[in-house]
Amino acid sequence: MAVAGEQSRTMDVAVVGGGPAGRWLAALLVRRGMSVAVVDPRPERGWEKTYGLWVDEVEDLTIKVDFDGIWSSPTVRVGALQGGAGRQLSRAYGRIDNGAFRRRLDEIIAGGRSRQIAGEAREVRYDEQGAALVCADGPELRCALVVDASGGAARLVDYEAEQVPAVQTAYGLDVKCSGDPLRGAAMVLMDYSPPAPAVEQPAIGAPSFLYGMARGGDRYFVEETVLMARPAVPVGRLKEALYRRLGALDIEVLERYGEERCEIPMGTALPVADQPTLAFGAAAGFVHPATGYQMARMLRAGPMVADAIADGLHDEREPAEVSRRCWEVMWPASRRRARRLLLFGMDALCGFERRAMSRFFDAFFELSTDDWGAYMSGESGAGKTAKIMWRLFRRAPMEIRLALARHILSSGGELRDALRPMARRETAPRGREKAHG
Ligand SMILES: Cc1cc2nc3c(=O)[nH]c(=O)nc-3n(C[C@H](O)[C@H](O)[C@H](O)COP(=O)(O)OP(=O)(O)OC[C@H]3O[C@@H](n4cnc5c(N)ncnc54)[C@H](O)[C@@H]3O)c2cc1C
């Protein structure tokens, strides 16, 4: 571990984790003139996950996001459109070029008074001089603020009490195929056709869909995905289902370039607001409870969080105060209430069978692009989220409305509790509402 000999070194910020969130925030901080240490057990290791997102969400960022594929009209095959050509969404979807984007961030980090350090962070200690990040081999890294960007299993921050998370699992293959698994589409966001009609839904345990991208020639990335389930569906079952799906389409895998085993806990607890160590990225609860997406939300939040850190350190504020301000940037009250609504949606969908899931998403993608885009962004406030959910409810077929109504009745007032603060706001005297911002 390379922290040895760093004892005397004081950085402005120590970022724990060299994943997308850690490197992104580090680069933004360097751009604001700060010295940053990025600590990761293996800083040289590449990012291995396939990261997809809506291109328009990251177009206006000051540091460019690199893509190795952009698809202007992704296909969804849901509801009655399941078997055929499906519905084309009019919104570009991109796959991040991990190598290029990481290099871009590393160059920015290397250009500042900053460094990447191999080490496993264990603990943060605070004293009058600031923070000391303690790594597995003992030495400490002194800094003004520690950011924990070590992903969903972050250990340096405290969390609110949590409900049992749902889990998105997926099994993906990057392969050369004898046929077209996407059946003519260039990119499939969601295909709920059963993996193999002849074998009727295998014992997956929850409805799975195909997600995939044509990568040129006869190369494809295909992934069998369970959007959310509680308990998690084992990845091995999705591997079987994917091969069964390919088999049913008479498609042979000619060459395998890589595989992806995906487990994303969804609806995990938020970090508590009042603590000196700041969480960022998946560690900060950014994973969307209804989709499992995180990247766009994290990339968009980054500049605001970096500004709040820069201002706080410039004004020589205590770490707890800087961390609190950043938390408020990430989790303003309305977004926290919106999250409760999204959690309600997540719980409802956990009980859906394939047909219901497919019909639900048929109604979802019939909403305007602005509406479903705002719902998926995880950035909308509670009022907007509630309106979109209501529009979706009105549009959904009776079978889905009944299932949602049953969930409302069985969830013991969960939805009512999430909506109550909004009802109060609506009846609050105008002046008072203003005072609360
Ligand atoms: C397979 C998969 C595919 C996904 N695909 C998408 C997608 O397409 N779009 C999307 O929006 N989201 C996606 N997600 C969700 C989410 O965006 C990713 O999980 C993303 O990697 C989270 O980024 P992060 O930087 O917060 O955490 P991570 O990527 O988990 O990075 C954490 C880093 O911290 C390091 N670390 C851990 N512990 C310590 C420690 N004690 N000390 C120092 N370093 C430590 C780790 O080595 C790692 O490098 C996916 C998730 C998975 C699992």
- Domain ranges across the chain: 10-67+93-161+270-330, 166-266, 333-435
What number of other Cβ atoms are within 10 A of residue 112's Cβ? Answer: 18
Q: What is the pLDDT of residue 7?
A: 47
Tokens of 73: 């009209």
CA distance 143 to 126: 10
Ordered per-residue pLDDT tens for the chain, 437 residues: 343 344 445 899 999 999 999 999 999 999 999 999 999 999 999 999 999 999 999 999 999 999 999 999 999 999 876 667 899 999 999 999 999 999 999 999 998 888 899 999 999 999 988 999 999 976 789 999 999 999 998 999 999 987 788 999 999 999 999 999 999 999 999 999 887 655 455 567 899 999 999 999 999 999 999 999 999 999 999 999 999 999 999 999 999 999 999 999 999 999 999 999 999 999 999 999 999 999 999 999 999 999 999 999 999 999 999 999 999 999 999 999 999 999 999 999 998 999 999 999 999 999 999 999 999 999 999 999 999 999 999 999 999 999 999 888 887 766 777 777 655 554 444 333 333 32
CA distance 180 to 191: 14
Q: Ligand 1 within 6 A of 205 CB?
A: no
Q: What is the pLDDT of residue 233?
A: 94
Under 8 Å between Cβ of 346 and 229: no
CA of 54 relative to ligand 1 center, distance in Å: 18
Pocket test for ligand 1, best of 264, 376, 379 (most atoms within 8 A of CB): 264
Q: Ligand 1 within 6 A of 15 CB?
A: no
Tokens of 272: 């508590």
Q: Ligand 1 within 6 A of 147 CB?
A: no
Looking at ligand 1, which atom is closest to the CA of residue 294?
11
CA distance 191 to 365: 13
Looking at ligand 1, which atom is closest to the CA of residue 24?
25
Q: Ligand 1 within 6 A of 18 CB?
A: yes
Q: Ligand 1 within 6 A of 415 CB?
A: no
Nearest CA to ligand 1 atom 3: 49
CA distance 257 to 339: 38
> Please, what is the Cα angle at 2 between 278 and 25, to 5 degrees?
30
Q: Ligand 1 within 6 A of 167 CB?
A: no
Looking at ligand 1, which atom is closest to the CA of residue 261?
1
Tokens of 200: 């009727």
Q: What is the pLDDT of residue 380?
A: 93
Q: Ligand 1 within 6 A of 53 CB?
A: yes
CA of 16 relative to ligand 1 center, distance in Å: 12
Contacts 24+ apart (CB under 8 A), 360-364: 360/396, 360/400, 361/76, 361/78, 361/79, 361/190, 361/192, 362/78, 362/79, 362/80, 362/81, 363/79, 363/392, 363/395, 363/396, 363/397, 363/400, 364/392
**Whether the predicted model's global pTM rises above the 0.85 cut:** yes
Overall size of the chain counted in residues: 437
For 354, left (φ over 0), alpha (ψ -120 to 50), or beta? alpha
**Cis preceding linkage at 195, omega within 30:** no
The answer regarding whether domain 166-266 maps to CATH 3.30.70 reads yes
Architecture of the structural domain at 10-67+93-161+270-330:
3-Layer(bba) Sandwich (3.50)
